[in-house]
């Protein structure tokens, strides 16, 4: 997973280098890496838990058909139940989607900024400041991502209590 995250960050980090303000550049880079890392984390954790939730019940069925020791059947079914419960509680799919969406939105903003397209196209006014526009738009992406994750966590807490 680390290799995948590192490769994806390397493929797009050059876009952050276009930002002149070094403090903001660091903020964007760190946020970008954070969203990619978390998107991949929830992707792989969700995948592992989903596989366990599918394979273990099938294994329990096979063990039952083979008249295996009841302890093994109980272990397989209880582990499947725990894996499914953790998957549901963590909301892996929703969080993976939220983090991925934020990372992709940041990529899109950085490409538009670097190529001076869309909101970053100079409108000819003295007050035009593409860095300020980027700052507002990136912070909005970060805030929206944060708000969505908090919402998902609150849903988990409600369903878990």
pLDDT digits (tens, 9 = 90+) for 77-117: 999 999 998 988 889 999 999 999 999 999 999 999 999 99
pTM: 0.82
Instruction: State what percent of residues in the chain have pLDDT above 70.
Output: 96
Of 40, 60, 26, 21, nearest to 100 (Cα)?
40
pLDDT, residue 24, reads: 92
- The residue among 18 and 105 whose pLDDT is bigger is 105
pLDDT score for 26: 93
Determine the pLDDT at residue 2: 56
Query: If you average pLDDT over residues 34-43, what whole number do you get?
Result: 93
How does residue 50 score in pLDDT terms, banded at 50, 70 and 90? Answer: very high
For residue 19 the two structure tokens come to 């930002």
> Under DSSP, is residue 102 helix (H, G, I), strand (E, B) or coil?
helix
Rg (CA), the chain: 22
Return mean pLDDT, the chain. 90
Minimum mean pLDDT range among 43-47, 58-62, 121-125? 121-125
Q: Which helix (H) or strand (E) holds 54?
A: helix 22-65
């Amino acid at each position: 997973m680390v290799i995948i995250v590192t490769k994806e960050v390397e493929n797009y980090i050059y876009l952050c280098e276009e930002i002149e303000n070094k403090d903001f550049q660091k903020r964007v880079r760190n946020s970008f890496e954070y969203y990619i890392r978390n998107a991949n984390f929830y992707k792989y954790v969700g995948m592992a838990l989903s596989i366990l939730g599918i394979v273990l019940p099938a294994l329990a069925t096979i063990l039952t058909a083979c008249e295996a020791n009841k302890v093994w059947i109980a272990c397989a079914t209880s582990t499947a139940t725990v894996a499914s419960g953790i998957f549901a509680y963590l909301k892996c799919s929703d969080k993976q989607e939220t983090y991925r969406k934020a990372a992709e939105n940041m990529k899109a903003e950085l490409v538009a900024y670097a190529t001076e397209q869309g909101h970053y196209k100079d409108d000819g006014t003295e007050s035009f400041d593409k860095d300020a526009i980027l700052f507002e738009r990136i912070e909005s992406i970060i805030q929206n991502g944060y708000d969505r994750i908090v919402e998902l966590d609150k849903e988990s807490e409600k369903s878990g209590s």
